[in-house]
Structure 1
């Protein structure tokens, strides 16, 4: 949201091009993805159980 609001002045600074705003948005998206992968809690492998199928419904 911040990048979308601030992209207008950046367009004027860089000659009416959107590349700086797209580049900064890509950096923020990559940073958020890495932070999400690192900060999410790890699931123990033993917590997953096989699901049995019930019949006759």
Structure 2
């Protein structure tokens, strides 16, 4: 299951998609401009059984 979250860091809100158990090793999925975390939507589900996957958005 993919969760859609917003994290505030120093007053800046950062949207990200997150999947998998936080107790598993974390795997950040980064992208370049002008892409967004949407491009990883399908991969999040495939990797979530082995990793805690985090994909920040622009």
TM-score in terms of structure 2 length: 0.27
Which protein is bigger by CA-based radius of gyration? 1
Q: Pick the structure with more strand per residue.
A: 2
Q: Pick the structure with more helix per residue.
A: 1
TM-score in terms of structure 1 length: 0.27
